[in-house]
Structure 1
């Protein structure tokens, strides 16, 4: 199974920064985020997401009223880590799609193929006022636009063929112009001609994730490769809604480890063996096949946790139940980065490893390879366009 972690200031608890163990200044230097990501990586956590929003946090006594830009923070963490996936949240409602895809592609190059992004939208008047480009819109409209942004981003990542950079010193040609392509994309609210200004990312397409917090987001999640679902009594139904559409094409192209037991008729809650396969760059990587591999996007149950207070046994039981319901893993939102991440690293991950639910801590490779996602074929290769 896959394990993800969220970095949000000092933690999901608004009062986390006030703990004696926390240096509040480290929130704005990035030190807290770097330390949390490094601890998570050493323990075998597969990916971290970075929370963000266009609106400034509310100025409430006792709470941190500032936030670092998620994309910039992910770029700060990238050179300080080696294996863990990095997915900043990017709100696309008031952001130029061309700039969004270029930023995510750049992060993929900087991190050596470990990048992704959590696509999000904004319906608030406060965010619209911050940017000043347009009026706020309803959730259905903003998520419809977000799906267009996801689509054009993938096309722009393909606008450079993998071998477009030739570095021919004799002729003075750095790029083969025949291997750069226009996307000529027109959506109801924007248009993009292309090509991108950034060469094709190492992963081909950085991983696209969507956090489901509204019915409209659930509909848009069918276009994602990673879906973050809230824990609820309707979890199994929501997983089926995400995976059950015949329109779901992107997330369905999944690989499994050679030692896995995918599609073997085993029961939903049965243990899966850990196998070794090659990622999209040909590097060895250990993956843990699980129910749903090869059948849609990677679905992670997103839940706020405080294991330094509550312990891990209840969480372990919940994880087993979520896996039995069809989830591919968990996305943990620690109440305190300084207090909860060490417990997750030192107690929860070893316990899940004992149960055969997660793989070895040192496994690496690209993020797509780690998640069991194939590297996409470039849609323009050989097209002559």
Structure 2
């Protein structure tokens, strides 16, 4: 079968409820890397111990961003996209934590923006009551905005490290962001140098309506859970139209259909390849985010069964095109807004 003009992107979740050993996540990340997947995701949330979150996610988990910061140095090419909840979390800390993941992974980091919508989770922090989903997602969009500004608050060559003169930083290349949002204000600059990718990749799950405006404004990747290719395609088209209205190039938004995966036999691995090929040919999405029922079993069958079939059919690459997650997704490195405009130095 001839190769399609549009590249097929493939990612997978490596969630492991009750798994507290780094080796579990390292092995899954290396497995996904062997299959040349773009990235792996790791879910997170604020559900209290002994409870489940609104999405039915099991409570009692490690911090996703910290886990992937541990896993990243044990790999070479695979990208890492943890879920980061912006509600009840300081935007400055969100920015520095994601930037740190980009540094320790040498430019392979992203984050999935999420919000906390339950009163039980709000009580864990005791800072404010729960807010409506629309307000939380407007705030999440502002967090994504200020995070990008903080990543730009250091110009790429701000570090001098001149031992003879004792100058470590060119202060003219550090910038205040002076951001004022509806619920927070951030002056900056960041305490972390500009990430290797400029901006780590920002992802949003747009299955529900409230996150779509934030995704259209700020996301590089959008996940949509759909039962059929037509539904996935409709959400993608809506999202790109919104992005266009915000002055963005809609081609820079990668939409991935997020599919549950449960593979018990080799035949199931081939059937998944057929489904992926059919959905992609129908224009349902730019690629697929696979959510295994049993990550060690299902991801192994994807890598050893589904991936070779897709490669044989000319639908999936056999090697990584570059070294960063932006390279894998065909995204350019953003220009620093302050270096371009001569923003106020810190």
**Fold equivalence (TM over 0.5):** yes
| Cross-structure match for 2:227 | 232
Which whole-Å deviations, capped at 9, do the CAs of 1:277-303 have from their partners, x for residues lacking one?
A: xxxxxxxxxxxxxxxxx7241111111
Q: Which residue of 1 aligns with 2:5?
A: none
- Aligned-pair CA distance for 1:65: 4.5
Change (3 A) 1:362 1:368: closer
| 8 Å contact kept, 1:28–1:68 | yes
The 10-residue stretch of structure 1 (301-310 or 221-230) with the greater mean CA deviation from structure 2: 301-310
Q: How does 1:292-371 map to 2 (within 5 A)?
A: 295-308=251-264, 311-323=268-280, 324-371=282-329
Give the structure 2 partner of residue 30 of structure 1.
Answer: 22
User: Residue 92 of structure 2: SS of its match in structure 1?
Assistant: helix
The gaps in structure 1 that reach 5 residues or longer are: 11-23, 253-293
Q: CA deviation at 1:3?
A: 0.5
CA contact (8 A) 1:128 1:135 kept: yes
Give yes or no for contact 2:201–2:221 (8 Å, CA) kept in 1.
Answer: yes
Please give the residue correspondences for 1:236-247 in structure 2 after superposition, counting only pairs within 5 Å: 236-245=233-242, 246-247=244-245
Structure 1 match to 2:167: 173
Q: Distance in 1 between matches of 2:330 and 2:287?
A: 13
Greater share of helix: 2
Q: How does 1:1-385 map to 2 (within 5 A)?
A: 1-9=8-16, 27-56=19-48, 58-59=50-51, 65-222=59-216, 223-233=218-228, 234-245=231-242, 246-249=244-247, 252=249, 295-308=251-264, 311-323=268-280, 324-382=282-340, 383=342, 385=344
Give the 3 Å change call, closer, same or farther, for CA 296–167 of structure 1 in structure 2.
closer
Q: Determine the C-alpha separation between the residues in 1 that align with 2:333 and 2:153.
A: 15
Indicate conservation of the 8 Å contact 1:45/1:361, yes or no: no
Say whether the 8 Å CA contact 1:32–1:337 is kept in structure 2.
no
Gaps of at least 5 residues in structure 2 are 1-7
Shift of residue 126, structure 1, vs aligned partner: 1.4
| TM-score, normalised with respect to structure 2 | 0.90
3-state SS of 1:37 partner:
helix
**Counterparts in 2 of 1:135 and 1:48: CA distance versus 1, 3 Å:** same
State the Cα RMSD in Å.
1.8
Change (3 A) 1:362 1:6: same
Q: How many residues align?
A: 326
Q: Name the SS for the 2:73 alignment partner.
A: helix
Deviation digits for residues 13-60 of structure 1 (CA, Å, limit 9, x no counterpart): xxxxxxxxxxx6xx1012211111101101111100110001136458
Q: Does the aligned pair in 2 maintain the 1:204–1:375 contact within 8 Å?
A: yes
How many Å apart are 1:232 and its aligned residue? Answer: 3.0
> What is the alpha-carbon distance in structure 1 between the residues aligned to residue 136 and residue 124 of structure 2?
17
Distance 1:2 1:87 in 2: 14
